[in-house]
Chain A
Amino acid sequence: MDGTHRSRLTAPDLRVVRPGDPGASGAVLVREVAGDPEALGRLLAAVEPLRATGAVVATDADAEVGRFLAVLAVLDDRAELPAYDLDDPALKWHAPAGVRAVANRPEGAAGGAPADPGGAA
C-alpha cells in the first residue's frame, strides 16, 4: 500500500485526500489505516455508502480508496471501462520462467495472449 499504483480513472463525486492536505478539514470521515489490510477493509465499508455523495474522506490509504472507488464507478456505470490491451504485461499473470504457453486457443476467440487472462483465480 505504497500509493505507487497506476490509476487510470479518478472516481467521481467522493473526494479522497490525505490527512493534513488542503480540504481535509471538511472531511466527514478521517481514518488512519497504516498498512493494515483489515483496517483497509473496514475503511472501504465506511467509504462505500459515501461514493456518490460529494463528501470528503481523509485517509493515509487514499490510493487504495481511489482504486476501490474507480472499480465501483465502472460497475455503477458512472465511469467508462478504460480501453484495454489483453496482452498488457503489467496486468497479466505470467508463466514461471521456462514454462511454455499451451497453444490451444479455440476458434472464435479474440486476443493473442500467451498467459492466463485472469479467469481462474
Chain B
Amino acid sequence: MSPGAVAGAGDPGTVLLPAGRHAMSLVPGRPAIMGIVNTNPGSFSDTEHLADLDAQLARAVALVEAGADIIDVGTDSGVTYGASVPLEQQVRVAVPLVEALVARGIPVSIDTPFAVVAEATLRAGACMINDVSGLADVRIAALCAEHDAALVILHTRVAHKQEAFLDFEDVVADIEDLFEERTALAVAHGVARERVVLDPGLGYSKHPRDDVRLLRAYPVFAARGLAILTGASRKFFTGVITGAAPTDRLPETIATVAAVRPFPGFVRVHDVAPVRAYLDAAADGDGAARR
C-alpha cells in the first residue's frame, strides 16, 4: 500500500481488507490504485500486447513504481469478439508472473471468472480474485476461503464474453440485489465477509445512462461497509460525453476516479502515474481545506 492509502484502524469510514498475507487499509479520499497487466493477446482497451513474462513483469513493476498498490493480472480478455484463451494457457502464463510479483512483495489480484485459473494463481500467491462474472461459479468463493484471499464480486447480468446493453428497470436496485445475494453466497462458502470487495460493474451489461446512475449511487453501495472496486479506465460512457476515442481518455478516467474518490476501495486503471499524481494532489487539497 502506498503511504497515503494506509490509515489507522478505526478511522471513520476506513475499510480494513485482509487479503492473503496482506492487510489493506482503504481510506475515503485515498482509494488504492489497482494497476492492470494483461497476459492475454487481445485484451480490451490495452494499447499494446505484453508478449512474454519479462515484458509483463517489467510492466507490473513499473506500475508499482508509478504508484500502484496492487496489480490485477488479466488472463483472458473480456472482449466479445474472438474466443477465450485456453484455460491451460491462461494458467501457464499467469502462474510465473504471479510468483515473480509475490516474490517482490507485490499484492496480486487475478481477473478471472474461471475456477481453474483462480486455484492455480491462488496457490502461486495471489491475494485476491477479481471475479468478473459476479460469482457465477461458487467454487471461486470456496477457493478464496481456502487461501484467505479477498474476493471481488462484480455486478453483471450476462456471462463472460457476452455483449449486452440490458434494460434495467432500476440498475441501482439490481446491483444492490446482486451484492446482497452474492455476498451471502460467498459467506456461505467460507469467505469472511470483510474479505468481500464490491464492484458495481461500470459498463458490464449496462447502458451509459446506467453507468451514470450507478456512479451517483455510491453512497448506497458504501453503506454496506465493504471496500468498493471501480473499473475506472477509459469507459465508454465517458466517451459518450466527450467524444474522446477509447485510447485517449485520460481526463475522462480521472473524472471517473474523482467521482468515486470519497469512498474506500480501489480504482482499477491502466494509467497509474497520472492517476497517482491526481490522487496525491487531491488528498493534499483535502488537507489544505481542513487546515
Contacts and interface: CB of A to CB of B under 8 A. Distances in A.
Do A and B belong to a common assembly?
A: yes
Main secondary structure of the interface of A (DSSP, over half): loop
Interface string B255-289: 11011000000001011011111111110110001
Given A7-B243, A120-B78, 8 more contacts: A6-B242, A40-B274, A64-B251, A81-B237, A92-B246, A93-B44, A120-B132, A121-B78
B13 interface: no
Given A45-B281, A116-B163, A121-B234, A99 B82 contact: yes
Given A39-B277, A101-B81, A118 B237 contact: yes
Nearest to B204: A119
B41 to A, nearest CB: 9
B13 to A, nearest CB: 20
B274 A82 contact: no
Interface residues of A, number: 57
Contacts of B204: 119-120
A84 B248 contact: no
A65 B208 contact: no
B158 A120 contact: no
Interface residue tally on B, bucketed by range? 35 or more
Interface in A70-117: 70-72, 74-75, 77, 81-82, 84, 86, 90-93, 95-96, 99-102, 104-106, 108-111, 113-117
Interface in A38-86: 38-42, 44-46, 48-49, 64-65, 67-72, 74-75, 77, 81-82, 84, 86
A9 interface: yes
B26 to A, nearest CB: 19
Contacts, number: 224
28 contacts: A6-B242, A37-B271, A38-B273, A38-B277, A40-B274, A42-B280, A44-B254, A67-B241, A70-B242, A71-B255, A71-B256, A72-B255, A74-B212, A91-B240, A99-B42, A100-B81, A102-B83, A106-B158, A106-B159, A110-B207, A111-B165, A115-B80, A115-B163, A116-B44, A116-B79, A117-B165, A120-B231, A121-B45
B203 A9 contact: no
Interface string B66-90: 0000000000011111110000000
B167 interface: yes
Nearest to A72: B255
A39 B129 CA distance: 33
Contacts of B259: 72, 75
Interface in B207-246: 207-209, 212, 215-216, 231, 233-246
In this complex, which of A48, A93, A106 has the most chain B Cβ atoms within 10 angstroms of its Cβ?
Answer: A93
A121 to B, nearest CB: 4
